[in-house]
């Protein structure tokens, strides 16, 4: 960048330190230097600093994160990819912001349930503290409320699936929606509801919002008991068939609600988000040899996805969702045929980017990991 130095009365070519450093390094490498000075000052990287940490139930942690200036905001229901370094290796997982998309402070609130044996969720539950830095992606995903907002809505969640649903509810409340919302949440007991106090406060302050808890465990609390069934919706939202329903929860709940809506011919009114694959991603035929070229490892093709087979061979490729939505497992297939386990499509093109978590090798396949 050339500037005129008027005090000396002449043209003097002066380079800002950013220009100079950018000339010496790529923008991403420059961020590596800048993070030594202040990790919140980045040229390209989107990161976040944890501002507060609340462990509201015995297995959930809520992080309030201030993102760097690159953050473009989110729509309620979307997710972000969060990257953390554990034992020197960066791992990425998807988490859905739980705040209102109308919040003005630009903060991102994530609530994470610690899964038994779960690497990233367990790490964050145990180690997150104010000041911790995480990598972030921009918000992604199509699971959002339409504009204009539907008049009446049913929001159904179970367990950690509460996050996108409370984000939608908080957004509707901030927008002054008065059409009527029934928020039906499934948990084991009242002690397992991460946002109980906040939900109760919303219900108290907004006559058009009906918050209903259904407990599947041994408790006398709650409005409904047991697993999802049509009788629950008939009891708390008898108008559900003529409204829009948004759903996120464990596979059993997702299956039950889907089956009901399908049997009534109203599946078009049901909008869903999965946190984990409803069915395990199906494998294919065993046979042939897999070459993981970067690591020099080879293995017999056992018919499972390339991600699972790479892991069985001792490799640790990056992954996020394990169901083909986040693209963090993308790698280059250098040769061979793969089948997409979700669409059934086969691909024989060499040097092609594939998602390891949903790609099943057919015969001999070489992948650049
Ligand atoms: C779009 C999207 C949004 C998400 N939003 C949230 C959120 O807001 N809050 C939240 O807590 N989680 C959310 N998740 C789930 C999250 O991304 C991780 O899958 C979860 O935290 C487990 O990661 P882990 O590294 O701890 O477990 P891993 O080490 O990857 O897995 C350990 C074990 O847990 C099992 N496991 C992995 N993921 C799940 C799961 N989701 N449910 C049940 N068992 C699982 C695996 O099968 C494995 O046996 C979301 C997932 C997606 C795809
Ligand atoms: S891990 Fe998310 S697409 Fe493969």
- Closest alpha carbon to 81 in 91, 72, 66: 91
Is the distance from the beta carbon of residue 318 to the nearest atom of ligand 1 less than 6 Å?
no
Q: Is residue 281 part of a domain?
A: no
Q: Judge contact between 68 and 42, C-beta under 8 A.
A: yes
- The domain that holds 173 is classified in CATH as 3.40.50.80
| pLDDT band (50, 70, 90) for residue 31 | confident
Find the DSSP H helices in 87-209.
Answer: 119-127, 162-174, 196-205
Q: Is residue 141 part of a domain?
A: no
Nearest CA residue ID for atom 46, ligand 1: 118
Q: Is residue 233 part of a domain?
A: yes
How confident is the model over 23-50, as a mean pLDDT? 76
Within the chain, what is the greatest distance between any pair of CA atoms?
A: 84
Look at 4-18, 37-51, 86-100, 195-209 and tell me which has the smallest mean pLDDT.
4-18
C-alpha 329/C-alpha 320 separation (Å) is 7
Rounded to a whole number of angstroms, the distance between the first and last alpha carbons of the chain is: 40
pLDDT above 70 (res 27): no
Atom of ligand 2 nearest to the CA of 322: 1
Where in the sequence is the domain holding 72, given as residue range(s)?
47-136
Is the distance from the beta carbon of residue 118 to the nearest atom of ligand 1 less than 6 Å?
yes
Q: Is residue 312 domain-shared with residue 339, that is, in the same domain?
A: yes
How confident is the model over 32-53, as a mean pLDDT? 83
Q: What is the pLDDT of residue 4?
A: 35
Q: Is residue 24 domain-shared with residue 84, that is, in the same domain?
A: no
Q: Is residue 42 part of a domain?
A: no
Six token digits for residue 81? 């990819």
pLDDT above 80 (res 369): yes
Could you report the per-residue pLDDT of 314-331, keeping only the tens digit for each? 999 999 899 998 888 999
How confident is the model over 257-265, as a mean pLDDT? 98
pLDDT above 90 (res 45): no
Q: What is the pLDDT of residue 5?
A: 40
Q: Is residue 13 domain-shared with residue 64, that is, in the same domain?
A: no
Q: Out of 119, 274, 324, give the residue to mutate to test ligand 2, the one with the largest number of ligand atoms within 8 Å of its CB.
A: 324
Q: Is residue 242 domain-shared with residue 348, that is, in the same domain?
A: no
Q: Is residue 159 domain-shared with residue 235, that is, in the same domain?
A: yes
- Closest alpha carbon to 338 in 318, 313, 364, 311: 364
Neighbours of 315 (CB within 10 A): 17
pLDDT above 50 (res 9): no
Q: Is residue 192 part of a domain?
A: yes
The rounded mean pLDDT for the chain is: 90
Q: Judge contact between 311 and 115, C-beta under 8 A.
A: no
Q: Is residue 222 domain-shared with residue 308, that is, in the same domain?
A: no
Q: Is residue 157 part of a domain?
A: yes
Q: What is the pLDDT of residue 271?
A: 98
Q: Out of 141, 305, 323, give the residue to mutate to test ligand 2, the one with the largest number of ligand atoms within 8 Å of its CB.
A: 323
- Cα dihedral 322, 272, 284, 92, rounded to 10, equals -10
Q: Is residue 60 domain-shared with residue 25, that is, in the same domain?
A: no
Q: Out of 78, 81, 93, give the residue to mutate to test ligand 1, the one with the largest number of ligand atoms within 8 Å of its CB.
A: 93
C-alpha 101/C-alpha 346 separation (Å) is 39
Of all ligands present, the nearest one to the C-alpha of 353 is 2
pLDDT above 60 (res 6): no
Is the distance from the beta carbon of residue 342 to the nearest atom of ligand 2 less than 6 Å?
no
How confident is the model over 81-97, as a mean pLDDT? 94
| pLDDT band (50, 70, 90) for residue 279 | confident
Q: Is residue 86 domain-shared with residue 189, that is, in the same domain?
A: no
pLDDT above 80 (res 222): no
Q: Is residue 127 domain-shared with residue 159, that is, in the same domain?
A: no
C-alpha 115/C-alpha 69 separation (Å) is 31
Domain boundary among the residues 83, 108, 136 is at 136
pLDDT above 60 (res 2): no
- The domain that holds 321 is classified in CATH as 3.10.20.30
Domain boundary among the residues 273, 304, 331 is at 273
| pLDDT band (50, 70, 90) for residue 25 | low
- Chain Cα centroid distance, residue 255: 20
Contacts 24+ apart (CB under 8 A), 345-353: none
How confident is the model over 24-53, as a mean pLDDT? 78
Query: 244 or 29: whose pLDDT is higher?
Result: 244
Q: Is residue 266 domain-shared with residue 327, that is, in the same domain?
A: no
Query: 306 or 10: whose pLDDT is higher?
Result: 306
Q: What is the pLDDT of residue 277?
A: 76
| pLDDT band (50, 70, 90) for residue 115 | very high
Backbone phi and psi for residue 143, each to the nearest 5 degrees, phi listed first: -80, 85
Q: What is the pLDDT of residue 181?
A: 98
Q: Is residue 132 domain-shared with residue 158, that is, in the same domain?
A: no
Could you report the per-residue pLDDT of 282-294, keeping only the tens digit for each? 777 889 999 999 9
- Chain Cα centroid distance, residue 268: 24
> Beta 108-113 vs 181-187: how paired, if at all?
unpaired
Is the distance from the beta carbon of residue 329 to the nearest atom of ligand 2 less than 6 Å?
yes
Task: Find the 7 Cα to ligand 1 centroid distance in Å.
Answer: 60
Q: Out of 83, 112, 115, 161, give the residue to mutate to test ligand 1, the one with the largest number of ligand atoms within 8 Å of its CB.
A: 115
Q: Is residue 142 part of a domain?
A: no
Q: Is residue 264 part of a domain?
A: yes
Domain boundary among the residues 104, 136, 168 is at 136
Atom of ligand 2 nearest to the CA of 94: 2
Could you report the per-residue pLDDT of 161-180, keeping only the tens digit for each? 999 999 999 999 999 999 99
Total domain count, the chain: 4
Task: Find the 350 Cα to ligand 2 centroid distance in Å.
Answer: 20
Q: Is residue 52 domain-shared with residue 32, that is, in the same domain?
A: no
> Beta 330-340 vs 297-300: how paired, if at all?
unpaired
Cα angle: 111, vertex 114, 119; to 5 degrees: 115
Highest mean pLDDT among 1-5, 86-90, 173-177: 173-177
- The domain that holds 92 is classified in CATH as 2.40.30.10
Six token digits for residue 285? 């035929």
Task: Find the 251 Cα to ligand 2 centroid distance in Å.
Answer: 18
Neighbours of 201 (CB within 10 A): 12
Is the distance from the beta carbon of residue 309 to the nearest atom of ligand 2 less than 6 Å?
no
pTM attached to this predicted model? 0.86
Is the distance from the beta carbon of residue 281 to the nearest atom of ligand 2 less than 6 Å?
no
């Amino acid at each position: 960048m050339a500037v005129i130095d008027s005090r000396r009365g002449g043209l003097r070519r002066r380079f800002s330190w950013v220009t100079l450093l950018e000339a010496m390094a790529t923008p991403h490498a420059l961020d590596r230097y800048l993070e030594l000075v202040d990790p919140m000052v980045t040229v390209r990287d989107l990161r976040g600093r944890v501002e507060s940490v609340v462990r509201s139930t015995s297995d959930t942690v809520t992080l309030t994160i201030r993102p760097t200036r690159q953050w473009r905001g989110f729509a309620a229901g979307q997710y972000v990819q969060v990257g953390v370094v554990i034992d020197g290796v960066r791992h990425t997982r998807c988490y859905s912001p739980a705040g209102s998309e109308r919040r003005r402070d630009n903060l991102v609130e994530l609530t994470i349930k610690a899964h038994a044996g779960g690497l990233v969720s367990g790490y964050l539950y145990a180690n997150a503290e104010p000041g911790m830095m995480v990598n972030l992606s921009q918000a992604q995903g199509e699971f959002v409320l339409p504009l204009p907002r539907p008049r009446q809505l049913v929001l159904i969640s179970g367990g950690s699936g509460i996050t996108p649903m409370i984000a939608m509810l908080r957004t509707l409340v901030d927008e002054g929606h008065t059409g009527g919302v029934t928020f039906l949440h499934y948990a084991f007991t009242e002690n397992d509801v991460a946002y109980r106090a906040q939900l109760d406060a919303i219900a108290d302050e907004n006559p058009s919002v009906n918050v209903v808890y259904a407990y599947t465990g041994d408790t006398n609390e709650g409005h409904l008991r047991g697993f999802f069934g049509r009788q629950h919706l008939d009891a708390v939202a008898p108008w559900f068939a003529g409204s829009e329903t948004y759903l996120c929860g464990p596979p059993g709940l997702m299956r039950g609600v889907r089956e009901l809506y399908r049997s009534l011919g109203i599946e078009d009114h049901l909008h869903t988000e999965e946190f984990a694959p409803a069915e395990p991603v199906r494998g294919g035929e065993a046979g042939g040899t897999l070459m993981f070229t970067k690591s020099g490892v080879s293995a017999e093709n056992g018919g499972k996805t390339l991600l699972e087979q790479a892991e069985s061979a001792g490799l640790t490729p990056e992954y996020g969702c394990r169901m083909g939505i986040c693209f963090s497992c993308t790698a280059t297939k250098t040769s061979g045929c793969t089948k997409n386990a979700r669409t059934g499509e086969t691909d024989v093109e060499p040097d092609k980017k594939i998602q390891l978590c949903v790609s099943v090798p057919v015969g001999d396949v070489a992948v650049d990991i």
